[in-house]
Each structure stands twice: as C-alpha cells, then as structure tokens.
A and B are shown apart, each in its own frame.
Chain A
C-alpha cells in the first residue's frame, strides 16, 4: 500500500466531559458518606482507604483526568470532613499532615495508573472497531466491479468510522447535500493540487469538511471529504487507510477498463485487417485470372493452341462468376448489417429445404445429397427466401469442404421443441478451436473451402439471428471427421408436441 504522511487531523482531546466529572463527584460523595458511617467503627487510617477506592472507581470508569480530579476532590473532602480540625481545610496535627500527603500521592498515582489503563483499554477497543470496519471495506472493495460501487463502499465505511457524513467529490464538484462555498473551494484545491485540506476549527470558516485526495488523475481526479470532527490519531489513520485503499482500487478499476478498451480496439483492428486482406485476396484472385487470361489471349494468341484458348476463355468465365457471387455475398452482408426487411409468412418447412437443395443440385450436379425429412411437421412463420438462402449457404459450405463423391445429408426434424435443419458432411471436420469463430465473417478454417468467400456462414448466422433462430456446429462426427451444421427455430406455441 502507498505510504502517506501522518494525517493532519486535530489533536485528540482527553478533557473529561461534564458528565464524567459529575459522576466522579457523586462517587467521591458516596465514599464520603460511607466514610462518615464507618468512622466510629474503624481506625482513622481506613477512612483514607475508602476515598482511595472512590478515586480508583472514577479513574477506571472515566479515565485519567477524571481519576486525577477525583483524587483532588477526595483529598479536599478528607481534609475538610475528617481531619482535625474538621470542617476546615487546616491541618492541626503533624501526623495528619503526613498521612494526607501520602494519601494525595497514592490517590494521584492510583488515579493516574487506573485512568491510563482505562484509556488504553478504550483505545484498544476503538482500534479493534476501526480495524473491523477497515477489513470490511477491503473485503467489499475486493469484490466491486465498478467505480461507483467502490465510492459507495468508501462512503459507507467513512460514515461508520467517524459517525459523521462523508463525501466523494469529482471534477463536477457536485455533492449531496450541496457543499458550502468554503467546502467547494477546499475540494477544488485538493482536486487541482492533490494535497489534503484540513477543515478549520468550528467558527473559523464555513468549511465543515476536511478533504483528502482519493484518486490523483489528471483527467478524472477524485477527493474524499470527511466531516470535521475531533478524531483520535487512530481514527485519522483509519480514515486515511480507507481512502488509500479505495483510491488504489479505483485506480486498478480504471487501469482494467483502459486495458479492456485497448484489447477491444486491438480485436476490432484485427477483424478489420482480416477483412481487408480477405477482400483484397478474394477480389484480386479472380481478377488476376481474368486479367492474365485476357492479356495472354491478346498478346500470345498466335502461339496458343485452340484448346488453350478455350480453356482461358472458360477460366475467364468461371472467375467472372466467382467475382459476381462474391460481390453478391458482400451486398447480402451489407444488407444484413444495415438491418433486414423481413417478409414473414406461414411456410411449410420441407418446401424451404427442397428449394435450397434443388439450387445446389443445379450448381453441382455430381454431388450426392440425401434429404431425410420428418413427416407431419408444423408450419413455420418465417421469411422463406431468407431462410432458403441461409440453408443454401450451409449446404454450399459443406459442398466446398467435403471431398467429391462423398454424401451430404440435409435433414429436417423436431428437436427439443424446435424445428431443426441440419447439414451433415463427410469432410475433414471443424477443429474445436475454430468452431466458435467459423460463423464470423472472413474466417476460413485451415480446412475451409479454398474458393469460398468467407462470408457464406456469416450470412447464415445473420439471417438465422434475424429470424429468431439459433445455429451451431458439431464436429467431428466420426474419427475421420465430418461436421454437422444445424439451424433451429422455435416451434409455434402448442404445436411443439
């Protein structure tokens, strides 16, 4: 913990209160009555002992100064009422003078010692109380997640420590209840300079609070205000310790927040750079093929055999289509990010599956696709064309990953009160590390489709979320790999049975 200079709180006052003085006078009075009763029965020396007991009581109950006052009072009473000549303060006999002197000495000593013991015990109790509050504060601070909570914990702690109101003031200088002008000035000075400002004694100024720096920060400094009171050095230390602890916690919270922001910023940057490099790659590669092929056809035409010319033309066509599909995906994605216009209607789920599969079959006639569909499925209220696109992207993704000749299974069934579309392939599978980010834009897995745009599954995710569904992937399905992508939509109430 930070070391701070001794707090400049007002010196402690041990002058006894009027109550203690009156009480000790009563005790001495009682002793005097007891002595008067006992006088005929006991030797004169014992009278002094009765008064000594009274002094001891006063000191033990009310502390050092009360003990001393009681011993003075006892001396006077003893002298006045019990030493010859009685009812005067004169002392006639030499031995009486001696015994009175011894009495004063013993009573003073007893009062002092007992009073000091009493005060030490009180101080120890007080310290224990302070320590308990401080440890409570530090356990509260250990769990706080926000600066506000830390400030509240400090206010609570200062309040129970001092029994007076406390403040935490930031650069807006607002407080509840509002501060007096002198307090405002003091708080402002502490905010600016970071040095404590102790409230003047009552009557000297309007300021009622002492202010201490809580967080020294050029941008958002904080100060804590403690109501002017007469705390002991122990209380002063406890108040400073509470402020220091809270300051350290707030400082840590702020650093944590800055680090968190930096991390998020870095993440955004890395997504942006992945996006840029992917955009560049996906647009440049087909363009490179097209430009290279076209320039070859123009510049080397005479040296090219017929078959080579045809192949170059085919390559140009394929990559122009690829570019078109890519630009289409990009537009889809932009539209998804801008918010979708949903056209909801009741549709028969198998129709959607059939449409998506038919589109894939047209594009890749060689692929074997089987479509197990559970009978008697309820209707689904959804946007048919968007859902078809989401499912199509999933099947397209599987088609790109799975080796030629393997089977893709596109299934539809009820599952835990939802309607679930699933696309299962016999490809290499999705490594566990990639499963959480495979639906993010431009995240091609190591084993991903080399010709994909990196957007297909992101579009699927965007659509499924817009339609109120959920999606996921399970992999591997067998020791050899395989992956199962699923899209699930809640079934209408009452029809899920």
Chain B
C-alpha cells in the first residue's frame, strides 16, 4: 500500500515541471515527470500513479490519444492542462474520459483543488451512498427528496436526475454531451439549448439567487460543475 499519493505529470515544458515539483511536493504528493507522451505512458504502466496531470499539446502524440490509451485499461483520474485556444480540444478530451481541466495559466490553488476533487471522487465510486449534499441542500436519491433546512423542494423527475448527476460529481466539470447522454440518451447529445433550459429551471428552484448561481456553476462552452463540498 502506497503511503503517499503519486501524481504523474506529462507536459513538454520543463518550466512547468520545475514549479510543480516544488508545489506538489510541498502539498504532500509524490511526483513522476514525463516530457513526452511515450515516456508518460511508460511511466503510467510502470508506476500506476493515482492521478495524471496531462498537457494537451505534447510534441510526440496528441493529448487526446494519450487519454484514449489510458482509458483502455484504467479509470485513473486525468486532469488536462489546456491553453485558451484549445477550447474544442479540451471538450474532446473531457468527452474522451478526462475528469477535469485547468486552463493555463493557473494558480496552484486551483490545480490542488481539482486534484483533491478527482481523488475523492475516485474513492467515492466504491462507496455509493444515496444521501448526498450540495451546498446547503440535502438530497436523498432513493426517496427522491431534496430539502433545504428541512423544507422540501419540489423538482420534476428530470430536474431531480440532473441535480443528482451534478451532485454525485460535485467539484468536477461535466460536459454538455456527458449530461445529455446520461439523462436523455445518445440521441440527444447535441441538444445543448434543451439542457440550458433545464439548468435554468433547476436554478430557479434551488439557487438563492438564480441569476448568480452558487451551487451549479457554468463552465462556458464546456458544461456545468456542481460546487465542491469542502
């Protein structure tokens, strides 16, 4: 049993490795470095890291291909580092199975928060519980009940499913495509406006101020993220 959590960083910029080496070590993680996809994939199969931080712009192989190869054998969380102009790449990476993304440049706090959420979600998969919380909401998946401070909130079945899906992945970004596929099926993966309407209705019912939501956050162009309970 590993005592320390191992993070594999695959990025072709030595300067990124340089500061991550110090910051992630200070945060208590053990680090593996790779500057190419080939070295990264080899390190992945040799050392079985707990989480992977992957830059999309690698010199030898497309970052998406790296995700595809890892996902063939493993569900190890993957956090993608992307530049602003890689918007579509980023969404494709998430749809291929990456767990989350951090846009460059980023503060270390943001990356550490994403890492924590991914690691926790990974552990939570084993312990599926039907009692969830999201901010000050309590959600009972089995009884189909949502309460705030003892007061029940009435949701339609679809709104409830949407809330549960987001709450179960609290802290993680879910792409439009992923949500549409999970709740409405593969025939509706392109119906983003539809989803927008449902999110709006749900926010009306659960957010204190629906115009500045705090529980369900929008990731522009990518999807939605339920706020992580710390």
Which chain A residues lie closer than 8 Å to B85 at the CB level? 276-277, 280
- Of residues 123 through 144 on chain B, the ones whose CB sits less than 8 Å from some CB of chain A are none
- Of residues 3 through 30 on chain A, the ones whose CB sits less than 8 Å from some CB of chain B are none
- Shortest beta-carbon distance, B11 to chain A, in Å? 10
Which chain B residues lie closer than 8 Å to A266 at the CB level? none
Cβ 8 A contact of A291, one of B13, B28, B106: B106
Interface size class of B (residues with CB under 8 A): 20 to 34
B31, CB-defined interface residue at 8 Å: no
Given A280-B83, A288-B104, A291-B106; A315-B27 close (CB under 8 Å): no
- Shortest beta-carbon distance, B221 to chain A, in Å? 16
Classify the interface of chain A: helix, strand, loop or mixed.
helix
Please determine whether B105 and A288 come into contact, CB atoms closer than 8 angstroms: yes
Which candidate, A183-191, A295-303, A326-334, A387-395, is the interface stretch facing chain B? Answer: A295-303
A290, CB-defined interface residue at 8 Å: yes
Which chain A residues lie closer than 8 Å to B145 at the CB level? none
A293, CB-defined interface residue at 8 Å: yes
Interface size class of A (residues with CB under 8 A): 20 to 34
Please determine whether A285 and B16 come into contact, CB atoms closer than 8 angstroms: yes
Which chain B residues lie closer than 8 Å to A284 at the CB level? 83-84, 104-105
Which chain A residues lie closer than 8 Å to B15 at the CB level? 285-286, 288-289, 315, 318-319
Which candidate, B18-26, B43-51, B166-174, is the interface stretch facing chain A? Answer: B18-26
Q: How far is the CA of A304 from the CA of B25 in the complex (A)?
A: 8
Cβ 8 A contact of B26, one of A287, A289, A308, A315: A308
- Shortest beta-carbon distance, A184 to chain B, in Å? 55
Given A280-B85, A284-B105, A299-B108; A292-B16 close (CB under 8 Å): yes
- Shortest beta-carbon distance, A446 to chain B, in Å? 8
Q: Which residue of A lies closest to B111 (CB)?
A: A292
A381, CB-defined interface residue at 8 Å: no
Q: How far is the CA of A295 from the CA of B27 in the complex (A)?
A: 13
B220, CB-defined interface residue at 8 Å: no
Please determine whether B108 and A292 come into contact, CB atoms closer than 8 angstroms: yes
Q: How far is the CA of A284 from the CA of B15 in the complex (A)?
A: 12
- Shortest beta-carbon distance, A409 to chain B, in Å? 28
Given A280-B85, A296-B26; A312-B19 close (CB under 8 Å): yes
B150, CB-defined interface residue at 8 Å: no
B63, CB-defined interface residue at 8 Å: no
B109, CB-defined interface residue at 8 Å: yes
Please determine whether A289 and B57 come into contact, CB atoms closer than 8 angstroms: no
12 residue pairs from A and B, CB less than 8 Å apart: A276-B85, A277-B83, A280-B85, A288-B15, A289-B13, A289-B15, A291-B107, A292-B20, A292-B107, A303-B28, A304-B22, A311-B22
The interface of chain B, by Cβ under 8 A from chain A, is 12-13, 15-16, 18-20, 22-23, 25-28, 57, 83-85, 104-109, 111
Known: A288-B13, A291-B107, A296-B26. 5 other contacts (CB 8 A): A277-B85, A290-B105, A293-B19, A295-B23, A299-B109
